[in-house]
Chains A and B, each alone.
Chain A
Amino acid sequence: MTRSRKLLAATLAALVFLGGLLSGCAQSPSADSLKGPAKEAASAVRTASLTVDLRLQERATAAAATTTADDMLKGMQSATDQLEHFGAKTQDEQSLRDSMLAIFSTISRSLLHARDALAAPTSAPGGGTDLAGIAQLPAVQGELRAATEQLDELMTKAGIQ
């Protein structure tokens, strides 16, 4: 092995070691691990809420609004998957995880309702306005806000910023 190769191998080994060390130090396998999915879920439900607002004001198009709602549903799915793979070590962690899963389920349901309401046409075939499509949005907005409040409450209780 030449000198330059030895140097390269040593540098790579040092980087891998440092990476391992940092990843070990970065997160304790506790409630900290729930922070990621919780923040992802909070961001998703707030995005959906803002989108519904913008659609109610007729600022967002139906295509853009449904795309956003679809994206947020995928985000919620990813957050739920992370949470389901979280191995709770104590009774408190188990309880926190279960409470969070229940709220995630509520959020996913409200996101589905939001997506369906946003996808509903707001223009009737004759050129008028289809009030049924728009009428669903305030109710959906209420659902999203209630879910946001529940999640915020739990995050505060768990000490997640």
Chain B
Amino acid sequence: MKRLLGVALGILTAIGGFVDIGDLVTNAVVGSRFGLSLAWVVLVGVVGICLFANMSGRVAAVSGRATFEVIRERMGARAGLANLTASFLINLMTVTAEIGGIALALQLASGVSYMLWVPFALIAVWLVIWRVKFSIMENVTGLVGLSLVVFAVALFLLKPDWGSLASQALHPSVPSEEGPGTYWYYAIALFGAAMTPYEVFFFSSGAVEERWKVKDLVQSRINVLLGFPLGGFLSLAIAACAAVVLLPAGISVTTLSQVALPVIQAGGQLALAVLILGVVAATFGAALETTLSSGYTLAQFFGWSWGKFRRPAEAARFHVAMIVVLLAGVAVLATGVDPILVTEYSVVFSAIALPLTYLPILIVANDPQYMGKHVNGRAVNIVAFVYLVIILVASVAAIPLMIATGAGA
């Protein structure tokens, strides 16, 4: 019974923890401009993140070490540095976006400018990282983040034309008002949002934090294979809500307040309250994960003592690195840059950096020295290779498309 509850908790946490500010904004933007014609990208992204998160969880459980640490050792300092540089910069952008997301959600609740909420968000994130146990932190934010199910409920309350939505999803096409370049630019952004690198580093370091062993692999696989796809459904619900309310009204999403409008229309003030709770939990959880991820990658590269399972005094550099990352994120926000713009760029840059994250994971997961008999099977390697090709194409096409479309304008 206890094991079953553990599995259920893991799945629920994975669903609630799947959506972050990148997913929220990108799915709403895409829904308001392209309807559900980019739903297939969410599917491709979810399968990809399941594949590689499962792989990195397996590396951590079998070797007892986090993926990044193994990559650094297996592939040498130069490859490790390339991986660190790319993932660290993306992490920094994502931390900035998530803290901005918390502040924007609190502005939606209070009407008080988000700039005034930023310092509170910073202190709250730091306090939780400093004081709260890893499992509590992960489970609470994941479970409260489940409030975002309000998007799915709102979709039903809006009584959409299901046939039309299904047709948009099953017969994707570029809307007449948008160019093919913009369509593919947002396809890459959506893919980057679903496959953000921090998720795998956090997942594997979390596995070490929670002391996973080989016997825990089944539970981890269930969490990933059920939790992430259901999280993907939440992403689709966000896009569908925007497609039903905002697209016909000629509204293109550029702010978080616009993301909330379909939910408000469907469920009124109660739904809005649930939505704000969900957005705060999702962005807060993701801010914790990205901040920890930054600390993990730095500490694992330089060989510092790391982990929340150690007292802060025993992992001082790890904790200082995270404080510096948080302060850097807040400094960026203090310039007045729009957090939503940071989010939009962070998901595209995520896509650009994907090969540097996922190729090393694939190499390590195939190394019998680390994995023993738990190396990747043939089928997994074939799918992973196909994904590497997709990732490479997305990565190479991202910058030219960004320039050509004026970042999707």
Measured between C-beta atoms, what is the minimum distance from A47 to chain B in Å? 5
Contact A19 B108 (CB under 8 A): no
Measured between C-beta atoms, what is the minimum distance from A93 to chain B in Å? 19
Kindly state whether residue A39 has any CB partner on chain B within 8 Å: yes
| Chain B residues, Cβ within 8 Å of A64 | 108-109, 111, 257, 260, 264, 272
Kindly state whether residue B400 has any CB partner on chain A within 8 Å: yes
Report B32-82 residues with CB < 8 Å from chain A CB.
Answer: none
Give 1 or 0 for each of A1-23: 1 = CB within 8 Å of chain B CB.
Answer: 00000000000000100111011
State A46–B245 Cα separation when bound (angstroms).
12
Give 1 or 0 for each of A28-68: 1 = CB within 8 Å of chain B CB.
Answer: 00000000100110110011001100100111111110111
Contact B110 A75 (CB under 8 A): no
Contact A68 B255 (CB under 8 A): yes
State A51–B257 Cα separation when bound (angstroms).
10
Residue in A closest to B271 when the chains form the complex, CB atoms: A59
Measured between C-beta atoms, what is the minimum distance from A120 to chain B in Å? 12
Q: A54's contact among B264, B401, B405, by CB below 8 Å, is which?
A: B264
Kindly state whether residue B406 has any CB partner on chain A within 8 Å: yes
Give 1 or 0 for each of B310-345: 1 = CB within 8 Å of chain A CB.
Answer: 000000000000000000000000000000000000
Q: A61-B269, A63-B108, A68-B255 are in contact. Are A54 and B261 (CB under 8 A)?
A: yes
Q: A42's contact among B107, B250, B406, by CB below 8 Å, is which?
A: B250
Kindly state whether residue B369 has any CB partner on chain A within 8 Å: no
Contact B257 A43 (CB under 8 A): no
Report B385-409 residues with CB < 8 Å from chain A CB.
Answer: 396, 399-401, 403-406, 409
Q: A15-B399, A22-B403, A50-B249 are in contact. Are A71 and B269 (CB under 8 A)?
A: no
Contact B403 A23 (CB under 8 A): yes
State A37–B401 Cα separation when bound (angstroms).
20
Measured between C-beta atoms, what is the minimum distance from B96 to chain A in Å? 19
Q: B111's contact among A23, A46, A66, by CB below 8 Å, is which?
A: A66
State A43–B404 Cα separation when bound (angstroms).
22
Q: A19-B399, A43-B250, A68-B261 are in contact. Are A63 and B405 (CB under 8 A)?
A: no
Residue in B closest to A161 when the chains form the complex, CB atoms: B177
Contact B264 A43 (CB under 8 A): no
Kindly state whether residue B168 has any CB partner on chain A within 8 Å: no
Question: B257, B265, B269, B405: which has the most chain A beta carbons within 10 Å?
Answer: B257
Contact B111 A60 (CB under 8 A): no
Q: A18-B400, A26-B406, A63-B111 are in contact. Are A43 and B251 (CB under 8 A)?
A: yes
Q: A61-B269, A161-B176, A161-B177 are in contact. Are A22 and B257 (CB under 8 A)?
A: no
Q: A59-B269, A61-B269, A63-B110 are in contact. Are A25 and B404 (CB under 8 A)?
A: yes
State A44–B52 Cα separation when bound (angstroms).
40
Residue in B closest to A57 when the chains form the complex, CB atoms: B268
State A152–B409 Cα separation when bound (angstroms).
19
State A71–B400 Cα separation when bound (angstroms).
30
Contact A40 B400 (CB under 8 A): no
In the A-B complex, list the 9 residue pairs whose CB atoms are closest, starting with the nearest: A63-B111, A22-B404, A68-B257, A19-B403, A71-B255, A59-B268, A43-B252, A23-B403, A26-B404
Taking Cβ atoms with an 8 Å cutoff, the residues of A that contact B are 15, 18-20, 22-23, 25-27, 36, 39-40, 42-43, 46-47, 50-51, 54, 57-64, 66-68, 71-72, 75, 119, 161
Cross-chain pairs A/B with CB under 8 angstroms, 7 sampled? A36-B406, A43-B252, A59-B265, A67-B108, A68-B261, A71-B254, A71-B257
